[in-house]
Amino acid sequence: MICVFDLEGTVRSKGESTGTGTLAFIRNKSQGTCTCGLNWIGTKRKGRIAERKLNKGAMSTMKRMPFEPPTEHYEERIKDIDEQICNFIKQRKDLSDNDPGFPTKQLISTWAEKYDFHEEFLNSVFSHFLQEEMFRPVVEPKGFIKNIPILKSFEKDDMFFSVTFVRQFENASVIHLTIDTDASDEYPREFREHTFFDLLIEGEENYECRNEGGGGSRGHTSYTYTVSPALPDDFSNIHFVFRECKMPFQKPTGFEIII
């Protein structure tokens, strides 16, 4: 069973489906990435639903293969032009405060005709500009030290969010967000729009937070985050901000949890 996804998260080709999703294997030689996982799979077993969610950010930060150039040659005459492209990308980030949005369909159509490109190609190019965070170096937790209980929670409607402890490593911290819901309705989550939660750490230092994905069963879901550098043992000046996002492109829904 094989699925191939583009960076926008849309299915280009797929094999057998299981429940409400598909087993995915993603191989992108030009970007040096190779990921494998389950994308919103709901398998009915003995009257229950076994779920596995793997968001786009987590898919990109799994085992990453060494980059392999797609060609064996480079035309040196375009070196200055390529450097200008890099310069323009940097200017684009700075001018937009790294929040450029996406060109309208009319602009894409106009530029495609003016510069002799296919519209889908330009859509792909501008989509890639939104994916830079996916290619940050991956920090793997090493040197386990201890677990620190924190017992923090937040409740909204029938959803109970909690962070019970933090796993401390020498170079990083690992946080688990658990979400418990009312599971009395029959398979209610099959009909909900798939969202996930990104983590932001508010403290005296800047922290890199990586969503490793999550999973669960009916009425219970958990997400795992790797934070680097490691958090201090004293959390009195630390706040965990979980922001709900929609696929693709991690669009915020406006709902966030601060615990």
What residues contact 254, with CB distance under 8 A and at least 6 apart?
A: 244
The residues pairing with 173 across neighbouring beta strands, listed in sequence order, are 168, 227
**Cβ–Cβ < 8 Å for 250, 56:** yes
Q: Is the pTM of this model over 0.85?
A: no
All structural domains of the chain with their residue ranges = 4-60, 76-135, 144-258
- pLDDT, tens digit (0-9, with 9 covering 90-100), for 204-244: 788 989 888 877 777 888 899 999 999 999 988 889 999 88
For residue 181, pLDDT over 80 is answered with: yes
Cα separation, 134 vs 55, whole angstroms: 11
For residue 122, pLDDT beyond 50: yes
User: Out of 3.40.980.10, 2.40.128.720, 3.30.70.360, 2.60.40.1640, which CATH number does the structure's domain 144-258 have?
Assistant: 2.60.40.1640
Q: How confident is the model at residue 249 (pLDDT cuts 50, 70, 90)?
A: low
Best-predicted range by mean pLDDT (76-90, 147-161, 192-206): 76-90
Residue carrying structure tokens 């219970």? 220
**How far is it, in rounded angstroms, from Cα 31 to Cα 248?**
19
Helix (H) or strand (E) holding 225: strand 220-228
Q: According to the model, what pLDDT value does residue 211 have?
A: 87
pLDDT averaged over the chain? Answer: 76
Which is more confident, 234 or 62?
Answer: 234
Report pLDDT for 50: 36
Q: What is the mean pLDDT of residues 30-36?
A: 41
What type of residue sits at position 246?
Answer: K
Mean pLDDT across the stretch 137-149? 92
Nearest C-alpha neighbor of 208 from the set 169, 254, 172? 172
